[in-house]
DNA sequence: AAACACCTTAGAGTGCACTCTAAGGCAAGC
DNA sequence: GCTTGCCTTAGAGTGCACTCTAAGGTGTTT
């Protein structure tokens, strides 16, 4: 159970990445795989967690380049922990800034939808443009 | 003042899009421009607001295709308001879902950073893996 | 014996949204 | 009269992250 081996096809379904992508990531140094006596790749439980973690990082918007750098640092051992932390912090700050921006844009989009609703329900004067309407929400 | 004309170079700086992109957007039907007697493009105040609005939509992750469709509907007049509202609502829901997902990923990233800090400060046991550590936060 | 899942290297293709070049030309300002 | 800023069409190039094909191979299963 602890040493169940997954070949690439099975693993692919497990982690939700195509076999192409798995080989590509391995090529890029993001993933390691072991090989059986015939040279066929296999993965173990720990690899599922590792890919899962990578996907969390990717999901924050971290790019392959940074991911590669992170993995390289990791391979260099404990001396690079500070640098890794810093890299992740930068990624986190970036992601948070992007989200904040998106939310700002979403706010306007929300107002536009409300404006449509107001026009449809005639609770907003016909003569009021969206631009004028928006002014109401400038803090 | 109300009818100040901006040629593409000036307008470009004003809205933060390259002249290439402005012509591209016009090509794609997202922006309109007027022409002077020599056939030279010019924009007015209202165009600044329009581009601003487009950029808000883009900023939520709305793709050019949807943007084109939106603009096309707009050109068709008031009868398409319901459809436009629906399109924007879909874009909004999408964006919100994406943000929620990103925030979920960010949470893990945050835990990882905390884990590094714990390791560095020795407030997390040397033997505790990140995976084990993460379990603490499963709700 | 054929089908299936895997292996390799190398390179081409995809989708998106630009971004830029080429190669021609016009009009205004110094 | 030359530079600068603009115009056109058409098409090539960029960056990112895959995604797939080609063309060869091995080993297991039916």
Domain ranges of chain B: 1-59
- The pLDDT confidence band at residue A89, using thresholds 50, 70 and 90, is very high
CA A105 and chain centroid, separation: 20
Question: How much is the pLDDT for B3?
Answer: 84
Interface of B with A in 29-48 (CB under 8 A): none
For testing the chain B interface, which of A49, A83, A84, A116 should be mutated: the one with the most B CBs within 10 Å?
A116
CA of A64 to C1' of D13 (A): 22
Question: How much is the pLDDT for B66?
Answer: 98
**Helix/strand/coil (H, E, C) string of chain A?**
CCCCCECHHHHHHHHCCCHHHHHHHHHCCCCCCEECCCCCEEECHHHHHHHHHHHHHHHCCCCHHHHHHHHHHHHCCHHHHHHHHHHHHHHHHHHHHHHHHHHHHHHHHHHHHHHHHHHHHCCCCCCCCHHHHHHCCCC
Overall average pLDDT of the A56-73 stretch = 98
CA of B38 to C1' of C27 (A): 8
Query: Is the pLDDT confidence value at A93 over 90?
Result: yes
- The pLDDT confidence band at residue A124, using thresholds 50, 70 and 90, is very high
Question: How much is the pLDDT for B1?
Answer: 54
In B28-99, which ranges are E strands? 34-35, 41-43
Low-confidence ranges of chain B (pLDDT < 50): none
pLDDT in tens, A39-59: 999 999 999 999 999 999 999
For testing the chain A interface, which of B44, B84, B102 should be mutated: the one with the most A CBs within 10 Å?
B102
> CB–CB of B60 and A119 under 8 A?
no
Main-chain phi, psi angles of A42, to 5 degrees: -145, 160
On whether the CB atoms of residues B105 and A56 are closer than 8 A, the answer is: yes
Question: How much is the pLDDT for A138?
Answer: 81
Pairing mode, if any, of strands A41-42 and A34-35?
antiparallel
The tokens describing A109, both together, are 């989009």
Q: At B63, is the secondary structure helix, strand, or coil?
A: coil
> CB–CB of A60 and B105 under 8 A?
yes
CATH topology of domain B1-59: Multidrug-efflux Transporter Regulator; Chain: A; Domain 2 (1.10.1660)
Average pLDDT of chain A? 96
User: From the C1' of D19, which residue's alpha carbon is nearest?
Assistant: A20
> CB–CB of A120 and B84 under 8 A?
no
Query: Is the pLDDT confidence value at A22 over 60?
Result: yes
């Amino acid at each position: 159970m602890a040493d169940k081996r997954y070949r690439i096809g099975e693993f692919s379904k497990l982690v939700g990445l195509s076999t192409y992508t798995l080989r590509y990531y391995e090529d890029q140094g993001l993933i390691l795989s072991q090989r059986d006596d015939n040279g066929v790749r296999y993965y173990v439980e720990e690899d599922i967690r590792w890919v899962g973690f990578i996907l969390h990082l990717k999901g924050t918007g971290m790019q392959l380049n940074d991911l590669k750098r992170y993995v390289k640092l990791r391979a260099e051992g404990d001396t690079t922990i500070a640098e890794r932390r810093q890299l992740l912090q930068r990624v986190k700050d970036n992601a948070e800034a992007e989200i904040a921006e998106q939310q700002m844009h979403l706010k306007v989009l929300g107002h536009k939808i409300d404006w449509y609703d107001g026009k449809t329900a005639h609770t907003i004067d016909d003569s009021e443009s969206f631009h004028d309407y928006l002014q109401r929400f400038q803090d």
